Amino acid sequence: MEMDKITAAPMSRRRALACGGGAALAGFASFSGPGSWLGRLVQRVAAGEAPSEVFPGDAPDERTWSLWVKRGWVREGSHYLKIGANVQCKICPNNCLLEPGDRSHCRNKVNRGGTLYTMAFGDPCTFHVDPVEKKPLFHFLPGSPAFSLATSGCVFRCLNCQNWEISQKRPEETKDPEGPELRLRPPLPAALTLEDVRRASLFPEDVVASARALGCPSVAYTYSEPTAYYEYASETCRLARAGGLRNILVTCGSIEERPLRDIAAWVDAAHVDLKGFDEETYQRLNAGKLEVILRTLKIYREMGVWFEIINLVVPTYTDNRDTIRRMCDWIVANLGPDRPLHFSRFFPQHRLDHLEPTPVDTLLAARDAARSAGLHYVYVGNVRGVEDAATTFCPGCKKPVIERDIFAVTRFSLVDGRCPHCRTVIPGVWS
Ligand code: SF4
């Protein structure tokens, strides 16, 4: 667990902003260096950019906090800085700067007495067994079940979020520590009510034991955003790997380099959302930064983590053909032609419920653009009745080698990871 201390004089974030930003903060930055986290914060403020949204004074009251502590749902944060009584999280580029009593942008972290704590540890708001194809991952342990879980919270603010009822909530809005304690571990109950789930604990060792008992070869950190429950995901990844299980991150990819490298050492596969390919749209649609996601993709490649890319095609936001073509060219040039790319159909939800679903022709045009850019494995998801939407073709002889019906593998022909017809290697993790 990394925790740095800064010896600079403490300064209230709100006070710093109130006193005019650039000039007042310039001196503060001078002893921290322009390339440091503090220098970057100063540059953001001086350039007129808003620091990340945090929730001043929104930490839980004493009673709620003591219930969370009693349940074991609290851990000290990792990767953060102390600045006097203030703290700054360094896990994602939001770099939340919290005064005592504040809550973070992702809603899961609070500053209590000058220490950063996560309230998302051992308290998932949902867990299921899903086919790995549902993540979606098509080149990773096909046909296998993945023990899948999530807590509340997210580092993004996607206008089209499918899971906003958990991603845009505090832990206190998804869990109930008032009732009798319920620690889940094998033998698992045959059925759980919603009330059970709201009060259930599932600590990292329980996740591993449960996944094994249910015959799942992998654990997937999914539904919301594992970066927002980084400490819980990291510890579970470590134990799962030690217990012979694989780890899958389903992520937006918005994470700082050091925590990414730390958790990636335990990750076997990632689904990374590449939500668009221009900065302005990323900011408007997701409140994120494209350059960070591209760095994440390159790091996964460098570290040898298997990953697949998902691009949700949102009408009027991310359906521009030229932009899609530029994205595919970038993938081929930087990640290679063998990187699977899934185009996914948008359906109206959350703050974009006024838009129509993505026309199927738009998705097929995106698939054509990706194939003509040179990508070998291009899929179309969230659609029915589209021929070969989820079929893997051998790039050598062009014959189908894996066929799927939505999330079910209906025919698997690879032999030792190779095409059975021409022996071309098909990249992925097959066993
Ligand atoms: S992980 Fe959460 S607390 Fe940490 S910087 Fe990102 S949004 Fe802020």
Find the domain containing 97 and state its range. Answer: 3-118
Question: Distance, CA 109 to ligand 1 centroid (Å)?
Answer: 7
- Closest atom of ligand 1 relative to the 227 alpha carbon: 1
Task: Return the structure tokens found at 103.
Answer: 């809550």
Phi, psi of 425 (to 5 degrees): -70, 130
DSSP line for 246-299: EEEEEE-----HHHHHHHHTT-SEEEEE---SSHHHHHHHHS--HHHHHHHHHH
Q: How far apart are CA 265 and CA 258, in angstroms?
A: 11
Which residue is listed with tokens 């249910």?
214
Q: How far apart are CA 128 and CA 166, in angstroms?
A: 15
Same domain membership, residue 192 and residue 260: yes
End-to-end CA distance of the chain, in Å? 32
Q: Which amino acid does the sequence have at 89?
A: C
- CB atoms closer than 10 angstroms to residue 260: 25
Phi, psi of 301 (to 5 degrees): -65, -45
Same domain membership, residue 256 and residue 200: yes
Tell me the whole-structure pTM to 2 decimals.
Answer: 0.89
Q: Are 304 and 102 in contact (CB under 8 A)?
A: no
Of 53, 89, 224, the residue with max ligand 1 atoms within 8 A of its CB, to mutate for a pocket test, comes to 89
Same domain membership, residue 221 and residue 193: yes
Q: How far apart are CA 180 and CA 200, in angstroms?
A: 9
Q: Give yes or no for residue 155 CB within 6 A of ligand 1.
A: yes
Q: Which of 2, 116, 95, 99 is nearest to 53 (CA)?
A: 95
Q: Give yes or no for residue 227 CB within 6 A of ligand 1.
A: yes
Q: What is the pLDDT along the chain (431 residues), one digit of tens a residue?
A: 344 433 233 334 443 333 233 322 322 333 344 444 455 455 555 544 445 689 999 999 999 999 999 999 999 999 999 999 999 999 999 999 999 999 999 999 999 999 999 999 999 999 999 999 999 999 999 999 999 999 999 999 999 999 999 999 999 999 999 989 999 999 999 899 999 999 999 999 999 999 999 999 999 999 999 999 999 999 999 999 999 999 999 999 999 999 999 999 999 999 999 999 999 999 999 999 999 999 999 999 999 999 999 999 999 999 999 999 999 999 999 999 999 999 999 999 999 999 999 999 999 999 999 999 999 999 999 999 999 999 999 999 999 999 999 899 999 999 999 999 999 999 999 99
Which residue's alpha carbon is at the smallest distance from atom 6 of ligand 1?
A: 92
Question: Distance, CA 96 to ligand 1 centroid (Å)?
Answer: 6
Assigned domain for 52 exists: yes
Q: Give yes or no for residue 292 CB within 6 A of ligand 1.
A: no
What is the CATH number for 192? Answer: 3.20.20.70
Counting the structural domains of the chain, the total is: 2
Question: Distance, CA 106 to ligand 1 centroid (Å)?
Answer: 6
Same domain membership, residue 288 and residue 193: yes
Assigned domain for 425 exists: no
